[in-house]
Amino acid sequence: MTEPTTPAEPTPETQSAPSAAPSADAAATEIAAGYKSDGAALKLGAVIHDGTVFGDAQITIPLSMMNRHGLIAGATGTGKTKTLQLIAEQLSANGVPVFAADIKSDLSGLAAAGEANAKVDERSKQVHDDWAATAYPVEFFSLGGDKESGTPLRATVTAFGPLLLSKVMGLNETQESSLQLMFHWADTKGLPLLDLKDLRAVISYLTSDDGKGELDQIGGVSKATAGVILREVTGLQAQGMDEFFGEPEFDTHDLMRVTDDGRGIVSLIELSKVQDRPALFSTFLMWLLADLYHDLPEVGDADKPKLVFFFDEAHLLFNGASKAFLDAVTQTVRLVRSKGVGVFFVTQRPTDVPSDVLAQMGNRVQHALRAFTPEDATALSKTVRTYPKTEHYDLEQVLTQLGTGEAIVTVMSERGAPTPVAWTRLPAPRSMMSPCGPSVVQQLIGSSALHAKYADSIDRDSAYERLAKRTQGAGEESSAPAPEKATKSTPTPRTTKQKDEESGIEKFLDNGAVKQFMRTAASAVARSLFGTSRRRR
């Protein structure tokens, strides 16, 4: 999708109202009345009605409603990315951190001030926007070991969980449930799954002569199924995906930062180098969202969200997904709202998003749709039926006539009701509407404190090393998660005074069996909606 770097000039059908005459159109006034807000609000533009832009009739989204989720949709080249940029700018200015997937590096321009030109000036006059060139605080991230494109984001295999990993590997439901059992076996044996070689070692062990007895005991996992999963893991390694799984694992709290002057930091994950692995990056983004849900406390209704998450190319997340995965996505999106997190899906057609998820999108910005094929016409008809009824527009006709930088909008009002449908002309973003130069990006990456924290990978003792010692007869049981200072066979000498001072609770917790039980229980409790788990911070 290639977006224009400047808004299109007004078409004859959508000229602005004469500047000498204030807006007097009754329909435009009625529509704009539904968008009145007592609190802070993000500006989306001005109403278009009967081919005229009414600058006084303002369309806004209440800041407090940004955690009610949203959808930005439209055909290629209609302005979706610029709408995302416009909303991200205003969230940052209001002190709300933003996280966005940058599929084509289009959003890096947020880090630099835009440039005024005749088209920007004309559009600003039409929509009564006091445009001023502005740069915003941006943090660049990348998936895995690509340190040149941004701070690497990694997750351990255990934290990622079997359900999300099954989505990446394209497993069927039987294979998915088998993988869950293998994760459970690794939990009970104290085998940390940090990277793909750890998972491969566990599966290899369970399918070997040494481990086949334990494979039978965990129930319902055939050797053939385990072999299929092992081949898929090996395939991920062959594609270089080892770099996405490991340590240091990213702390999702680092996404919710503000600058010293109170502006929310815009976190961009650069994905242009992994476009050939859509299941990986879309699923990784879902892991970030699930982890945020698991960690954050309930906040209920607040004046503004803690974070707004933009999920570009959203259809990639749902393609080929199992029912269990879709159920988990739906539940996560539904529940994360109460944690103060807003989620906006960005895609070409609303029908790309499952109905149960789409039903939770209270804020809608719909750019132009095309109706070149019977399938397009069907999608257009379905889209119209998802909007509130309106007597002011023929939506099926308008949706095919929208110009670049125009959209059909309906959002949640401050009282939690849908606003009237509004044909809207959006203002121009204030930051650069083209990608930043590489030198600017590299300078920001090099000066990032997070880059120093996450850039270099760590490879510590885990399932691979422990199973290797077991199979080589090194004498260390794989069920021991870390070398103990003392075992029953070689007790640590203690003085009489130390024994007297040791409390009953300390003796209880020092028991090896109790420690293993607590580790297993902790992992089970940490499993969230997607089966994700990590050592809680």
What's residue 86's pLDDT?
Answer: 97
**Residue 91 belongs to domain with CATH number:** 3.40.50.300
Q: Indicate whether 206 and 167 sit together in one domain.
A: yes
Mean per-residue pLDDT of the chain: 83
The structural domain count of the chain equals: 2
Question: 369 lies in a domain?
Answer: yes
Question: 5 lies in a domain?
Answer: no
Task: Please list the residues that pair with 312 across neighbouring strands.
Answer: 346
Distance (Å) of CA 468 to CA 18, 198, 215, 233, 473: 78, 10, 18, 18, 9
Question: 228 lies in a domain?
Answer: yes
Q: Indicate whether 409 and 517 sit together in one domain.
A: no
Mean pLDDT over residues 23-40, rounded?
88
Q: Indicate whether 240 and 345 sit together in one domain.
A: no
Q: Indicate whether 233 and 279 sit together in one domain.
A: no
Mean pLDDT over residues 94-119, rounded?
92
Mean pLDDT over residues 380-403, rounded?
92
Q: Indicate whether 223 and 114 sit together in one domain.
A: no
Question: 33 lies in a domain?
Answer: no
* Domain of residue 338, residue span: 64-154+247-447
What's residue 133's pLDDT?
Answer: 97
Q: pLDDT band at residue 480, thresholds of 50, 70 and 90?
A: very low
Tokens for 76, please give them: 């290629």
What's residue 412's pLDDT?
Answer: 95
Choose the weakest-confidence range: 141-150, 337-346, 410-419. Answer: 141-150
- Report the share of the chain in percent with pLDDT over 70: 82
What's residue 16's pLDDT?
Answer: 47
Question: 452 lies in a domain?
Answer: no
Contact 185, 176 (CB under 8 A): no
Question: 4 lies in a domain?
Answer: no
Mean pLDDT over residues 227-255, rounded?
89
Question: 431 lies in a domain?
Answer: yes
What's residue 326's pLDDT?
Answer: 85
Classify residue 299 by burial, with Cβ atoms within 10 Å: 0-12, 13-18, 19+.
middle
Mean pLDDT over residues 206-214, rounded?
84
Q: Which of 420, 447, 474 finishes a domain?
A: 447
CA atoms of 536 and 84, how far apart (whole Å): 32
Q: Which of 447, 473, 502 finishes a domain?
A: 447
Q: Which of 428, 447, 466 finishes a domain?
A: 447
What is this structure's pTM? 0.82
What's residue 104's pLDDT?
Answer: 75
Q: Indicate whether 206 and 75 sit together in one domain.
A: no
